[in-house]
A and B are shown apart, each in its own frame.
Chain A
Amino acid sequence: MIWAIPFSSGARYASLMTDDTKSIARGLKHRDPELFDLLIEQYQFRLFRYLLHLTASRERAEDFFQETWVRVLERGAQYDGKWKFEAWLFTIARNLVLDWHRRKKPESLDSLTGPDEDATFDVKDEKSASPLESYLNQEQREDMDASLEKIPAVYREVLVLRFQEEMQLEEIAGVLSTPVSTVKSRLYRGLESLRVVMTGGAA
């Protein structure tokens, strides 16, 4: 079986750019293991960050991360290359989170990080530092985590897609399956919330 063969360094996709959507679509259709290896490596940080913002839990984000790629494998043939791959990927991830949440309790994305939930943004610094720096970083991080938790998930989500993923408004609308006007409105409110909670500024 092709999947049992040890993976090479992805020579066939060595020059693959993330906007080479047709190559990605072809590879997904044929469930090309080299391509999957490359995509998982390439998108691991961005997808995990997005899921972390959606779920506010590292464990859940990790589960959904793996589940998303399994879904990509199963439904790869549906990707036609007309969209940016990351938009399609994030749509799958988002739908998985929403499905899980609907099964749990039929509410909106807002309740993903409701006040009853004991979830914190479990983000950590990658670089190691001195004990004092670590302590200060930890404090700063906890402050930021606590701040972000105050922003409703629906706003946090568009903020991530716009300002961390640098997606266009139309692309965000595609991921969320909502009109661009809704995306804009969420972004304006989200940005205002972000400013208020991050800087302690007046609303």
Chain B
Amino acid sequence: MNGNLHSRAQLLIAQQRIEGISAEEQTWLSAHVAECESCSALQSQTAQALSAFRSMNIELPKNLAARTQLRVRMRAEKLPTHNPGRLLLWAIAGVSWLLGLASAPLVWRGFEWVGGELGLPKIVWQLGVALWWLVPGVVATGAVLLQKWARAERTE
């Protein structure tokens, strides 16, 4: 028998398992294997090897799943929690900062005008401007600390 035919058969035997072959190729291979002893042996050896490989028994370590579940839970406890509320807080803080920056000259002039109208010393209305800037930050920090404290309470 032609050596090329054997090569083709050998390729198809592997291809059948790896990629699959067409119906025509399957018909040709079956016919060839029926007549060729060496290719038939190769085909059954391949089937035998794969069958043994597929049926390998592996014993799992004792309580592998339970121990892994416990470890995953413990790790989860340490991970920072995804908190949409905090994201919102940061977004509001960002917008507030931008607005504050944009309106700073107006606020300055406003406090200056009120200070002039009321006859206040310059230092007083300037302190007012400083507080105008500081108060939102102090409130936001307070909110974050309060949230942390509440979470710690829940955990305990």
Contact = CB atoms under 8 A, between A and B. Distances in A.
Contact of A191 (B41, B46, B75): B46
A144 B52 contact: yes
A159 B58 CA distance: 16
Contacts of B56: 123, 144, 164
A81 B56 CA distance: 31
B49 A199 contact: yes
Interface string A117-161: 000000111110000000000000100100000000000000100
B46 A195 contact: yes
- Chain A interface extent, by class: 35 or more
Prevailing SS type, chain B contact patch: helix
Contact of A40 (B48, B50, B68, B79): B68
A66 B61 CA distance: 12
Interface in B1-27: 14, 17-19
A1 B77 contact: yes
Interface of A: 1, 3-4, 7, 30-31, 33, 36-37, 40-41, 44-45, 48-49, 52, 58, 62, 65-66, 69-70, 73-74, 123-127, 141, 144, 159, 162-164, 169, 184, 187-188, 191-192, 194-195, 198-199, 201
